Amino acid sequence: MMDFGQAEFRQTPEQSAEGQMIERLGTSITSEYNAIHCYEVLMNEARTETEKRQIAEIRNDEVRHYHTFSALYHQLTGRTYSAHQTEMCPNTYPEGLRHAIESEQNAVDFYLESGDEAHNPHVRSIYYRIAKDEQQHAVWFLYFYTLNKF
């Protein structure tokens, strides 16, 4: 009988940090995937052309983020991550904006934390850069929400 000694299967701290980073990347890809879909819906509900155009621009950023995270995932694992829609998109414009503000704020938190935890400087700078985009998106959505409220 083969001896499956525990030591052989125990992960080194580097390996488990790498595993956590890969899991975070999967979560990030899923969150971008959801945003791309929900912002398509939101864009079509926008009340002015200016808001519609700005949401389209934000959506393009999310497409770019999605590709960046997917490429990184592939680079680190050799596998392609297949994302699925996990969220329901709200069906009114104000609810969609509120949902967007919260999602963007949560993304900023998660990406900054992921950047802090990344050992690889390339991964770290990608997370920090994308966190800045999400912060800016949050401000745009908050602005539109305010405009539509009064």
Q: What does the binding site for Fe ion look like in residue numbers (CB under 5 A)?
A: 32, 62, 65, 104, 134, 137
Alpha carbons within 13 angstroms on the beta-carbon side of residue 107 total: 29
On whether the CB atoms of residues 31 and 103 are closer than 8 A, the answer is: yes
Residue tagged 């879909």 (tokens): 37
Nearer to Fe ion among residue 24 and residue 65 (C-beta):
65
Q: How far is the CB of 8 from Fe ion (least distance, A)?
A: 39
Nearer to Fe ion among residue 51 and residue 134 (C-beta):
134
Q: CA 120 → CA 18, 102, 147, distances in Å?
A: 10, 28, 41
Q: How far is the CB of 10 from Fe ion (least distance, A)?
A: 36
Nearer to Fe ion among residue 51 and residue 104 (C-beta):
104
